Amino acid sequence: MDLTVLPPDLVDAGTQRCRLGPAVMEELRLKIGSPLLVLLPQGACLCTAWPRSDLADGYLQFQTTCTTPKLSVQMFPQPSGGKDTHDELNVNTAKLHLQRSQLKPLTCPHLKRLRVKVLVQSSQQKMTTSTRFIQELAKELLTGLYVHEKHLVNVAGAGTLVQFLEVENVNSGSHKAGLVTAETRLDLGSVQTVQRYQQPARRSPAVPLGGVEEVFASLKEMLEVPLRYPGSLKWLGLPCPRGALLVGPPGVGKTQLVRNVVQAVGAAFVTINGPVVMGSRPGESEENLRRAFAQAREAALEGPCVLFIDEIDALCPRRSASGSAPENRIVAQLLTLMDGIGSDESFIIIAATNQPDALDPALRRPGRFDREVVVGVPTLQQRFRILQSVSHSVPLSSSVNLRVLAEMTTGYVGADLSALCREAALQAILHTAQGRTEEMDGEGGSVGMEHFLSALRLVPPSCLRSSVGVSDFLPVSWERIGGLEDVKLKLKQSIEWPMKFPEALVRMGVRGPRGVLLYGPPGCAKTTLVKAAASASHCSFLTLSGAQLYSPYVGDSERTLAQLFRQARACSPSIVFLDEIDSMVGSRGDGGCRSGVQAQVLSVLLNELDGVGFKTTERRGSSKTMQTEGEEQETIQEKRMELQEVCNKDVMIVAATNRPDALDSALLRPGRLDHIIYVPPPEQQARLAILQLHTEKMPLDSDVNLKDLATQTHLFSGADLESLCKEAALLALQEEGMSVSTVQHQHFLKALQRVSPSLTAHQLLQYQLLFSSTLSCS
Amino acid sequence: MSQEALLSLRQELRKCFRSLEASRTVWGSALEECSPLLSSLGNLAEQLRALKCVELLNTPLAKFPDLQERLQHKLTQAADTVLSKLTEKMDALQVVKDSISKQVFALFQLYEQNSDFLDLRSCVARSAISPSIADMLEWLQDAEYYYRVQYVQRSSLLQMLKPDDLTLMETAPKRWASLDSPSREERISDALFQVSFFLESE
């Protein structure tokens, strides 16, 4: 027969009685007041058995005075609870049933000695009361109670400053539990506040982080040095560093990093969230800030403490004349509070932001935030390590190569990679659910490479989500472009080689080119070539057109362009494609585009291509980790990854134009757009290849002679040829009716009469002249 | 054998309840003597605060030398006297509490020793003139717990008093009074009423 658990009786508050029916008591050979261990799913609870006053069987009520810590954590009283804690201590008894076997009678001797840890409500009480008094108090409160080793005794009901007592050990031979009597000697272990005791219990389990070891170590050092070597710091006369600012794009794991560090050091953790601090009344926000600092100060009395301000840019924006007064007041309050921390107080402030430029400059000086740690978008090796740690618990099949995945996931941050892993696992589940259900338990349980590949399509990198230049295009393979073999080779050399053969390039001591300019008459597959190059390598591909760039606001175009490059750098290796670059920037020399905007855009572009350097906030990875890492296990693959990382740090710019003469000469010098590639109109062989490509899906009559057509279509561009094929097919439909089965040669010839070549010999001559002149120019 | 044990236990219970009744009156009277002391303590704290606030040089009393220090000393001394008297009372309360604890503990010892001979059914059996043994044990345990917690609370209240924290001293009478818990007290007297027939039926 099950026992139904009822909420405890108010009469029994403060005791540790467990009310049972007499029949159950007899069955378990329990006497009145004899100890009994109630085993619950969440933990155990030590009680004394008493008969119910109505003598009814089948019910159970018990007081949770002496329980395992895990069980009592759920029942910790709220700070405001005060005397009414009895009501809050009710176990969540909704529909809880117990088996007889879950009641275990114990034999308990009288204790000779025991050692307890005292938990008090506030640290102020802890400071002001003497330990002797606390010891006496603890003794009085425990007398007459049965206690169990490692259990937490709730004495909050007595209304003294002692809230809980944790029994550290009982000295009574093999018995784990015993009765505290007036003769028991009580040793005081330590005195803590309830809050501090609760902290480790409340914390979420740490998420392992990969690839941020360096930042982790530096933060940990900041926390631990004042703890470990207080003497040497005092001797040196140095105040310890007090603040660190974490800067990095969203999703790289700044917040999680801080949580992990805090957990590793075992420090107390106080958080300030911008929106929570903001109050509606004037002065309320400042008060909240002060309260958070006071809380941290109180926690710091008992050990290391971290005050974490997430999204500090919301809390502490740049003060300006136009800013509102309340905001300025908050900033001022934060600054004064940070200055007010005495050097003897061992709490440090860590703030995180993804917009360091939006912060007030006064905040970023030593003494406030001493250190600024840049957590950048993970590099190839970091991604590999992140992938290792996020897929740690996922059953991966042998087909998964994390190195390849790391290469493919350019621009992905930690959050993206874990989303990717989750999505892949989901794909695997869906896959097995759709297929054979019987395989679910066995082979089908693992996640394969194909799942990762399909997940890659669903999870785009987050740094590209709100980006200006992201475009979605159908992948084009090199084979889809007829002819132009030497142009293809050059493009492959510029884009694919650094990715595929980094060691060869490093051996020869060359860097990949910075930029490529494709020029040539319109319709000769310049854009398609770039598409093919982008889809052949796993680069991020960003593109910008003139329409996206220009805006009616002053300075907006320049900012858009700079942002495009910033994002491209964040998720390098990447390709930035600027189509019709002549319309975007023009040339400074000729009088045509002195409009100002174009000249400014040009100057931004020139700077981005080959400027002095980048902002510190865009830093990624570091050489230090690579060296320390490489010493131990320098496998060939790892070395290759390193080389690849070195080779592909940069952004590759590909520009296309059909008016190269309109470009500024500064843009065309080596180091900016080094490779200037002429994309010529197709030769006869190329034309044949193009015609073959476009007529692949067309039912051609046997009399169609593509070679003949290729010779006849001199000065036709690729686009012209495509339109010729289309025209021929339409003509066939027009003349023979809708049921026509093949396209005949005569249709092609007729179409040839209608379609005229878009290029002229004069044009081509101009391009060729330019070609030679630009060569001499550069 | 079980009959004998039952009888001796009942005898012990009677003894316990009688001493509880006696202790209760002692406790009550000791507590009553405490409350005027505490109100005078609060009064002294108020005076100390007033002394702190007043600027004696601006009053006609300015002629008297070192008046502030003297008054302060006088008042602190008075507070000390009151506190020492209170400590005496607390000692009296502790004696009462200890005697109750001792008795109840001894009773439980006796029950445990004889529990092998005592049938649980007979322990929970109630009759018109006497409550069950389980009930009586429970009441005694409750009473013991009540006096122990009361003593702990009151003594810790006095312990917290500091000469430099006047607010704490001022509010002491109020907090002292708030520690009274009439409902618990009532339960003890209820229990004593319920055992009155049992006590007489010797």
Average pLDDT over residues A496-505: 73
B176 contact A CB<8A: no
Q: For residue A318, give the H/E element and its range.
A: none
Placement of tokens 């800013």 in the chain: A323
Q: In what order do the strands lie in the sheet with A243-247?
A: A268-273, A305-310, A347-353, A243-247, A371-374
Q: How many helices (H) and strands (E) does chain A have?
A: 32, 24
Q: What is the pLDDT of residues B2-47, one digit of tens each?
A: 778 888 888 888 888 999 999 999 999 988 888 899 899 889 888 8
Nearest 5°: the CA angle A476, A481, A485 is 125
Helix, strand, or coil (residue A254): helix
**How does the average pLDDT of chain B come out, rounded?**
86
Tokens found for residue A469? 């230049």
B138 contact A CB<8A: yes
Question: Residue A173, by phi and psi: left (phi above 0), alpha (psi -120 to 50) or beta?
Answer: left
Q: What is the pLDDT of residues A123-148, one digit of tens each?
A: 777 777 788 888 888 888 888 888 88
B197 contact A CB<8A: no
Question: Residue A673, by phi and psi: left (phi above 0), alpha (psi -120 to 50) or beta?
Answer: beta
Distance between CA atoms of residues A452 and A412, nearest Å: 14
Q: What is the pLDDT of residues B88-132, one digit of tens each?
A: 989 999 999 999 999 988 888 888 888 777 777 888 888 888 888
What pLDDT is stored for residue A636 in this prediction?
60
B167 contact A CB<8A: no
Please choose, from the candidates A37, A12, A194, the residue with its C-alpha nearest in 3D space to the C-alpha of residue A102.
A37
B145 contact A CB<8A: yes
Residue A472's contacts (CB-CB under 8 Å, 6 or more residues apart) are: none
Chain-chain contact of B120 with A26 (C-beta, under 8 angstroms): yes
Q: What is the DSSP letter of A494?
A: I
Domain boundary among A201, A230, A245: A201
A438 CB neighbour count, 10 Å cutoff: 9
Domain boundary among A627, A654, A678: A678
Distance between CA atoms of residues A477 and A479, nearest Å: 5
Chain-chain contact of B153 with A26 (C-beta, under 8 angstroms): no
Q: For residue A346, give the H/E element and its range.
A: none
Please choose, from the candidates B164, B174, B172, the residue with its C-alpha nearest in 3D space to the C-alpha of residue B49.
B164
The full length of chain B comes to 202
What pLDDT is stored for residue A776 in this prediction?
43
Of A32, A129, A137, the CB nearest to B152: A137
Angle between the N-to-C axes of helices B182-194 and B133-160, in degrees from 0 to 180, rounded to the nearest 10: 150
Q: What is the DSSP string of A503-565?
A: HHHHHTT-PPPSEEEEE-STTSSHHHHHHHHHHHTT-EEEEE-HHHH--SSTTHHHHHHHHHH
Tokens found for residue B80? 């000390």
Q: How far away is chain A from the Cα of B145, in angstroms, using its nearest Cα? A: 8
Question: Residue A492, by phi and psi: left (phi above 0), alpha (psi -120 to 50) or beta?
Answer: alpha
Q: Is A70 in contact with A28 (CB distance < 8 Å)?
A: no
Regarding whether A396 and A347 lie in a shared domain, the answer is no
Higher pLDDT, A717 or A470: A717
Cβ-Cβ contacts under 8 Å, B117 against chain A: none
Of A25, A133, A158, the CB nearest to B120: A25
Residues 163-192 of A with CB under 8 A from B: 181-182
Q: For residue A654, give the H/E element and its range.
A: strand A651-657
Chain-chain contact of A140 with B152 (C-beta, under 8 angstroms): yes
Is A256 part of a structural domain of the chain? yes
* CB crowding A329-340: b at 16 or more within 10 Å, else e: ebbebbbebbee
Is A507 part of a structural domain of the chain? yes
Distance between CA atoms of residues A743 and A702, nearest Å: 9
Cβ-Cβ contacts under 8 Å, A133 against chain B: 156, 159
Residue A160: which CATH number?
A: 3.10.330
Q: What is the pLDDT of residues A696-713, one digit of tens each?
A: 888 888 888 888 888 888
Regarding whether A220 and A143 lie in a shared domain, the answer is no
Residue A346: which CATH number?
A: 3.40.50.300
Residue A25: which CATH number?
A: 2.40.40.20
Count structural domains, chain B: 1
Write the CA distances from A587 to A229, A453, A571, integer angstroms.
63, 44, 30
Please choose, from the candidates B145, B161, B148, the residue with its C-alpha nearest in 3D space to the C-alpha of residue B86.
B161
Residue A630 has pLDDT above 50, yes or no: no
Residue B143 has pLDDT above 70, yes or no: yes
Residue B99's contacts (CB-CB under 8 Å, 6 or more residues apart) are: B19, B23
- Please confirm whether the linkage preceding A573 is cis (ω < 30° from 0): yes
Residue A631 binned pLDDT confidence (cut-offs 50, 70, 90) = very low
Average pLDDT over residues A113-129: 79
Of B134, B153, B159, the CB nearest to A32: B134
Regarding whether A250 and A214 lie in a shared domain, the answer is yes
A101 CB neighbour count, 10 Å cutoff: 7
Distance between CA atoms of residues A40 and A49, nearest Å: 16
A91 CB neighbour count, 10 Å cutoff: 22
Q: What is the pLDDT of residues A55-80, one digit of tens each?
A: 888 888 888 788 887 766 555 443 33
**How does the average pLDDT of chain A come out, rounded?**
77
Regarding whether A286 and A180 lie in a shared domain, the answer is no
Please choose, from the candidates A618, A613, A606, A616, the residue with its C-alpha nearest in 3D space to the C-alpha of residue A653.
A606
Q: What is the pLDDT of residues A229-246, one digit of tens each?
A: 777 777 777 766 778 888
Count structural domains, chain A: 6
Q: Is A147 in contact with A111 (CB distance < 8 Å)?
A: yes
Write the CA distances from A328 to A286, A311, A542, B197, integer angstroms.
11, 17, 39, 78
Higher pLDDT, B11 or A301: B11
Regarding whether A335 and A409 lie in a shared domain, the answer is no
Q: How far away is chain B from the Cα of A142, in angstroms, using its nearest Cα? A: 10
Average pLDDT over residues A18-40: 84
Distance between CA atoms of residues B12 and B198, nearest Å: 12
A34 burial type by CB count under 10 A (0-12 exposed, 13-18 middle, 19+ buried): buried
B26 contact A CB<8A: no
Cβ-Cβ contacts under 8 Å, A50 against chain B: 134, 138
Q: What is the pLDDT of residues A723-735, one digit of tens each?
A: 888 888 888 888 8
A706 CB neighbour count, 10 Å cutoff: 19
Distance between CA atoms of residues A316 and A355, nearest Å: 11
Is A341 part of a structural domain of the chain? yes
Q: How far away is chain A from the Cα of B56, in angstroms, using its nearest Cα? A: 33
What's at A588, amino acid-wise?
A: R
Chain-chain contact of A33 with B159 (C-beta, under 8 angstroms): no
B149 contact A CB<8A: yes
Domain range spanning residue B53? 3-200
Regarding whether A208 and A195 lie in a shared domain, the answer is no
Q: How far away is chain B from the Cα of A26, in angstroms, using its nearest Cα? A: 7
Q: Is A2 in contact with A8 (CB distance < 8 Å)?
A: no
Nearest 5°: the CA angle A250, A251, A254 is 85
Regarding whether A291 and A358 lie in a shared domain, the answer is yes
Q: What is the rounded (10 degree) CA torsion for A477, A483, A488, A489?
A: 120
Q: For residue B150, give the H/E element and its range.
A: helix B133-160
What pLDDT is stored for residue A628 in this prediction?
38
What pLDDT is stored for residue A208 in this prediction?
67
Name the closest residue on chain A to residue B94, using Cα atoms.
A140
Chain-chain contact of A31 with B112 (C-beta, under 8 angstroms): yes
Chain-chain contact of B156 with A26 (C-beta, under 8 angstroms): no
Average pLDDT over residues A652-667: 81
Domain range spanning residue A604? 478-586+599-610+645-678
Name the closest residue on chain B to residue A24, using Cα atoms.
B120
Give phi and psi for A253, each to the nearest 5. Answer: 100, 30
Residue A171 binned pLDDT confidence (cut-offs 50, 70, 90) = confident
Regarding whether A356 and A208 lie in a shared domain, the answer is yes
| Residue from A9, A20, A32, A160 to probe the interface with B (highest B Cβ count within 10 Å) | A32
Regarding whether A210 and A276 lie in a shared domain, the answer is yes
Please choose, from the candidates A521, A447, A572, the residue with its C-alpha nearest in 3D space to the C-alpha of residue A679.
A521
Average pLDDT over residues A496-523: 76
Regarding whether A394 and A347 lie in a shared domain, the answer is no
What pLDDT is stored for residue A534 in this prediction?
78
Q: What is the pLDDT of residues A243-261, one digit of tens each?
A: 888 888 888 888 888 888 8
Choice among A284-288, A414-418, A523-527, B65-69 with the minimum mean pLDDT:
A523-527
Here the contacts of A582-587 (C-beta below 8 Å, separation 24 or greater) are A582/A657, A582/A658, A582/A659, A582/A660, A582/A662, A582/A663, A583/A546, A584/A544, A584/A546, A584/A549, A585/A663, A585/A664, A585/A667, A586/A662, A586/A663, A586/A664, A587/A662, A587/A663, A587/A664, A587/A665
Regarding whether A395 and A343 lie in a shared domain, the answer is no
Here the contacts of A550-554 (C-beta below 8 Å, separation 24 or greater) are A550/A597
Tokens found for residue A164? 């809980």
| Residue from B109, B138, B147 to probe the interface with A (highest A Cβ count within 10 Å) | B138
Regarding whether A207 and A292 lie in a shared domain, the answer is yes
Name the closest residue on chain B to residue A183, using Cα atoms.
B102
Q: Is B132 in contact with B124 (CB distance < 8 Å)?
A: yes
Please choose, from the candidates A519, A242, A521, the residue with its C-alpha nearest in 3D space to the C-alpha of residue A368.
A242
Chain-chain contact of A159 with B141 (C-beta, under 8 angstroms): no
B99 contact A CB<8A: no
Tokens found for residue A695? 């007529």
Of B112, B148, B160, the CB nearest to A143: B148
Percent of chain A with pLDDT over 90: 0
What pLDDT is stored for residue B67 in this prediction?
84
Chain-chain contact of A25 with B115 (C-beta, under 8 angstroms): no
B43 contact A CB<8A: no
The CA R_g of chain B, rounded to the nearest whole Å, is: 24
Establish, for the pair of chains A and B, how many residue pairs have beta carbons separated by less than 8 Å.
75
Q: How far away is chain A from the Cα of B186, in angstroms, using its nearest Cα? A: 12
Residue B12: which CATH number?
A: 1.20.1050
Q: Is B99 in contact with B105 (CB distance < 8 Å)?
A: no
A247 contact B CB<8A: no
A473 contact B CB<8A: no
Cβ-Cβ contacts under 8 Å, B183 against chain A: none
Residue A338 has pLDDT above 50, yes or no: yes
Q: How far away is chain A from the Cα of B147, in angstroms, using its nearest Cα? A: 11
Cite the DSSP H helix spans in A673-717.
684-694, 706-712
Residue A27 has pLDDT above 60, yes or no: yes
A33 contact B CB<8A: yes
What pLDDT is stored for residue A202 in this prediction?
54
Percent of chain A with pLDDT over 70: 82
A580 CB neighbour count, 10 Å cutoff: 16
Tokens found for residue A422? 């989750």
Of A25, A31, A160, the CB nearest to B153: A160
